[in-house]
Amino acid sequence: MHNLNTESLGIPLAKLIGLAHLQKERLLNQYLAPLGMSSAQFKVLAAIHYYDMNSPVEICNYLSINAGSMTRMVERLVKKMLIEKQPNPEDKRSVLLNLTSTGESLLKQCMDTMDNDVGPLLVGDLSVKEVEQLSALLTRLLP
């Protein structure tokens, strides 16, 4: 009986996960562009709203982006009046980020776009059961 080499299975799996990620990013950028948003901007707003992340450092770590990119992103989002910066009462050297009412409204539009346009394209013709299975399998791969 031949033993399957699980090490070699990781390479095609990594490629497929990477390609799925690229497809998701393309779709996000395509469908969020008419709203004046990029996928990166959307993810920052979502991190603040849905995951209660108010610290730029926390968001950097969560989204795996560097501090310089985050600083530029925050400035763009402040300029668009989607977020506001406030001094951190616990650490005067840092700031806390919060969505403005405009940011909350735009995030809702983005989520509607995700539900109505991006999500269906990501799952394609997979059945609900297949999507649930894929989701469960991918979740098991996460630490």
Asked, for residue 13, whether it belongs to a domain, the answer is no
String of DSSP letters for 27-95: HHHHHHGGGT--HHHHHHHHHHHHS----HHHHHHHHT--HHHHHHHHHHHHHTTSEEEEEETTEEEEE
Residue 52, domain member (yes or no)? yes
Residue 15 falls within a domain, yes or no? no
Count structural domains, the chain.
1
Q: Closest by alpha carbon to 63, among 87, 36, 45, 83? A: 45
Q: Which residue has the tokens 């469960």?
A: 136
The CATH number of the domain holding residue 103 is 1.10.10.10
Q: How many other β-carbons are positioned within 10 Å of the β-carbon of residue 98? A: 14
Residue 9 lies in a domain: no
Closest alpha carbon to 48 in 107, 114, 112, 109: 107
> Stretch 52-72: mean pLDDT, rounded?
94
Please check whether residue 11 lies inside any domain of the structure.
no
pLDDT interval class at 1 (50, 70, 90) = very low
In a domain, 3, yes or no: no
Mean pLDDT calculated for residue range 129-139: 95
pTM of the model: 0.86
Domain extent at residue 62: 27-141
Average pLDDT estimate for 106-130: 96
Is residue 17 assigned to a domain?
A: no
Do the domain assignments include residue 33? yes
